[in-house]
Amino acid sequence: MAEKQSAHREYLEKRVVDGNVSNQTRGSYFGFIISLVAILSGVWLIDHGKSPEGLVAIIASLGGLVSVFFYSKYQQKKEREEKSAALQARRNSR
């Protein structure tokens, strides 16, 4: 019975991990599409004589991408440091 419960728990954990990976991938695709549309809209505005508005659209979308990238890197670093500190604390308490 314990083996069956363990197998079921592993199955559920696998589904959660697979779902999270799928959501992250889908989010990356949607972010790419939105950014591409914003950049192409900026190019279209520049082409139709609206240079300031087009440049703002392009710079804002690129700025958004860069800020999301750096924020995610910061969050990953913070999470790694927290996990490392928790692991050190666990080792020291033994």
The pTM (predicted TM-score) of the whole model is 0.63
For residue 91, name the pLDDT band (cuts at 50, 70, 90).
confident
| Residue 42, pLDDT score | 92
Q: In the prediction, which pLDDT does 43 show?
A: 92
Q: Any idea where the domains of the chain sit in the sequence?
A: 2-93
Distances (CA, A) of 56 to 52, 60, 82: 6, 6, 38
Contact indicator for 45, 54 with CB cutoff of 8 Å: yes
Angle formed at CA 31 by CA 26 and CA 35, multiple of 5 degrees: 150
Per-residue confidence (pLDDT) for residue 81, from 0 to 100: 92
